[in-house]
Chain A
Amino acid sequence: MNLTVARITARALLGRRRFLLLVPLPILVIGLTILAKAVAPDSADQWGLAIINGLGIHVLLPIVALIVGTAVLGAEIDDGTIVHILAKPLHRREIILAKLAVAVAVTVVVSAVPMFIAGAVAVSPRYGLGLVVGCVIGSLAYCSFFVLLSLLTRRPVLLGLLYVLLWESLLTNLLSSTRVLSVAHYSIAVAESVGGSPHLLTTRVSVPLALVMTGVFTLVGTLLAIDRLRSFTLTGETS
């Protein structure tokens, strides 16, 4: 991984207005958890499901990963600053790994902190820790996928949203077999296992399958992204 690329990427990411989009969701998760605990302390299994599963795993984690994963490379491709980095004798693997590392780190911090608080308040600190591990798993797979999307299409956010909303939120609820290709369910499976499985969240994906599929998403996404970046083409005005 190239630290100079990572540093520039992090500054570009955290300095963009787009980053402010990441602020409301974590605050909402923490605020709703504290409110629910104060109002109904004995029915954590009901509101916990809604907040942690409905809002945390299915909205907060993928949306944060989508914003961050498409920004680390896609925003630089859009504004052309990527050329500054690409016109250097760097293996494209170094560039992708640096960008991916920043994306995963930021996604984990932004999603795992509120999820830990929600899990710890609703159930137990151990459960909160399980959710943190689930967020790490989800961040890896989502970010690899979204970084790749930003190299495959000029509309990565739109396609990413379609995946999150149509595939993960709609199809996996209607057709349980589609869960094997759902990052959210990998996160749930691992979080449940590490957190002591109080059955707040439900998934049919087993932990080994979740880990293997996370590895596949991450590896295939990263390798394809490296290959696509090697063939990066400068378009624009042809004068």
Chain B
Amino acid sequence: MDRQDRLVELRNVSRWYGNVVAVNDVTMTLGAGVTGLLGPNGAGKTTLLHMMAGFLAPSQGTLTVAGVPAWRNPEVYREIGLVSEREAVHGFLSAWEFVLASAKLHRLPDPAGAARRAIALVEMEEAQYRRIETFSKGMRQRTRVAAALVHDPSILLLDEPFNGMDPRQRIHMMDLLHRMGREGRTVLFSSHILEEVEQVSGTVQVMVAGRLAASGDYRSIRRLMTHRPHVFAIHSTDDRRLAIALMHEESVNGIDVEKSGLAVRAGDYGAFTRALPKIALREGVRVRRLTPSDESLESVFSYLIAGVQ
């Protein structure tokens, strides 16, 4: 595999729809290894991935995959494996038929062998002869990943690949992406969840409002965020009791008791999420809902841009 075959290069790429700018002057080069494309909803991640996958023309700038333009060039799919965000598979096919069809469409010399290998990679052997329409969302996702990997691509593009997966499937998918990266492939996956990116990729490209806000090693970006306040929405069997107990926790900066539950501002994400189960157990309180609030996610990126700039 030539180094050039694994490169995705964007030079001053912009994409707009009428007056709306979805991607604004993005320049980046992706090489071997796993890269996380991080950003809140509406940041332009999917638009960027669609352009890399040859399904959208840049309004401005140049974009090449393996040295050639991706737009109107089906030959790039010899190098690209794509798992798009939209869950679109032919439900009437079995997983085996779906992956085998992909192998045949790639005109592989041994399509059955390639399909078997790809299905084994995502551990779908047991369910491979079932119709895809009977699968859970996670199983469908793994089947789509198998179809994307069947031709052994040097570049793998995945849009929100962990959506709908249970914890075990997520770990398996993360291992798979790690392995792909170690084997020298260029793996790019998008996510709006910081922890997913942290666990999978060494390199991060952060997009906010269509612009590339930060780029580089995850740890350096993470450092910027360590002391950023996180807001969690918590609902439990006894919110007041839990609030009192949490006030003694060092990682908690403040708590608002609201009708719908607690809004907890934590100074250290990791310390707080580790401490909460212990505190709840000690107090005999059952946590029914724990969600990082969406606003907090937006604030992460705002904070990040401010930090990087």
B42 contacts A239, C-beta separation under 8 Å: yes
Q: Does B101 contact A (CB under 8 A)?
A: yes
B74 contacts A238, C-beta separation under 8 Å: no
* Contact partners of B160 in chain A: CB under 8 A: 239
Identity of the chain A residue whose Cβ is nearest the Cβ of B77 in the assembled complex: A89
B88 contacts A81, C-beta separation under 8 Å: yes
B84 contacts A89, C-beta separation under 8 Å: no
B90 contacts A8, C-beta separation under 8 Å: yes
Q: Does B145 contact A (CB under 8 A)?
A: no
* Contact partners of B44 in chain A: CB under 8 A: 238-239
Closest Cβ of chain B to A89, distance in Å, is 5
Q: Does B129 contact A (CB under 8 A)?
A: no
A5 contacts B89, C-beta separation under 8 Å: no
Q: How far is the CA of A81 from the CA of B148 in the complex (A)?
A: 14
A87 contacts B80, C-beta separation under 8 Å: yes
Closest Cβ of chain B to A227, distance in Å, is 10
Closest Cβ of chain A to B89, distance in Å, is 6
Q: Given A80-B86, A237-B85, 12 more contacts at CB 8 Å?
A: A4-B104, A11-B93, A12-B90, A80-B84, A82-B88, A87-B77, A88-B77, A88-B102, A88-B106, A89-B107, A233-B50, A233-B57
Query: Restricting to A1-58, which residues have a CB under 8 Å from any CB of B?
Result: 2, 4-5, 7-8, 11-12, 15
B74 contacts A237, C-beta separation under 8 Å: no
Closest Cβ of chain B to A88, distance in Å, is 4
Q: Mark A48-89, 1 if CB is under 8 A from B, else 0.
A: 000000000000000000000000000000011111111111
A84 contacts B147, C-beta separation under 8 Å: yes
A5 contacts B105, C-beta separation under 8 Å: yes
Query: Restricting to A135-180, which residues have a CB under 8 Å from any CB of B?
Result: none
* Contact partners of A92 in chain B: CB under 8 A: 74
B86 contacts A236, C-beta separation under 8 Å: yes
* Contact partners of A234 in chain B: CB under 8 A: 50, 53, 55-56, 84
Q: Mark B65-78, 1 if CB is under 8 A from A, else 0.
A: 00000001011111
Given A8-B90, A15-B92, A230-B72, decide whether A89 and B78 contact each other with a Cβ distance below 8 A: yes
Q: Mark B133-163, 1 if CB is under 8 A from A, else 0.
A: 0000000000000011000000000001000
Q: How far is the CA of A82 from the CA of B45 in the complex (A)?
A: 21
B101 contacts A87, C-beta separation under 8 Å: no
Closest Cβ of chain B to A167, distance in Å, is 32
Q: How far is the CA of A5 from the CA of B190 in the complex (A)?
A: 29
A231 contacts B53, C-beta separation under 8 Å: no
* Contact partners of B104 in chain A: CB under 8 A: 4
Contacting residue for B74 out of A4, A83, A88, A236, CB 8 A = A88
Q: How far is the CA of A139 from the CA of B25 in the complex (A)?
A: 48
Q: How far is the CA of A12 from the CA of B192 in the complex (A)?
A: 34
Closest Cβ of chain A to B98, distance in Å, is 8
Q: Does B47 contact A (CB under 8 A)?
A: yes
A79 contacts B88, C-beta separation under 8 Å: yes
Q: How far is the CA of A79 from the CA of B55 in the complex (A)?
A: 16
Q: How far is the CA of A88 from the CA of B108 in the complex (A)?
A: 12
A238 contacts B90, C-beta separation under 8 Å: no
Q: How far is the CA of A10 from the CA of B41 in the complex (A)?
A: 37
Q: How far is the CA of A79 from the CA of B86 in the complex (A)?
A: 9
Q: Does A91 contact B (CB under 8 A)?
A: yes
Q: Does B203 contact A (CB under 8 A)?
A: no
Identity of the chain A residue whose Cβ is nearest the Cβ of B23 in the assembled complex: A238
Residue in A11, A86, A92 whose Cβ sees the most chain B Cβ within 10 Å: A86
* Contact partners of A90 in chain B: CB under 8 A: 74, 105
A8 contacts B101, C-beta separation under 8 Å: yes
Closest Cβ of chain A to B21, distance in Å, is 11
Q: How far is the CA of A89 from the CA of B54 in the complex (A)?
A: 11
Contacting residue for B92 out of A12, A83, A233, CB 8 A = A12
Given A89-B75, A232-B55, A233-B56, decide whether A84 and B88 contact each other with a Cβ distance below 8 A: yes
Q: How far is the CA of A234 from the CA of B159 in the complex (A)?
A: 13
Closest Cβ of chain B to A237, distance in Å, is 6
B43 contacts A239, C-beta separation under 8 Å: yes
Identity of the chain A residue whose Cβ is nearest the Cβ of B111 in the assembled complex: A4
A4 contacts B105, C-beta separation under 8 Å: yes
B55 contacts A8, C-beta separation under 8 Å: no
Contacting residue for B102 out of A2, A15, A84, A236, CB 8 A = A84
Q: How far is the CA of A188 from the CA of B106 in the complex (A)?
A: 43
Q: Does B46 contact A (CB under 8 A)?
A: yes
Query: Restricting to A88-127, which residues have a CB under 8 Å from any CB of B?
Result: 88-92
Q: How far is the CA of A11 from the CA of B45 in the complex (A)?
A: 34
Q: Does B82 contact A (CB under 8 A)?
A: yes
* Contact partners of B101 in chain A: CB under 8 A: 4, 7-8, 84
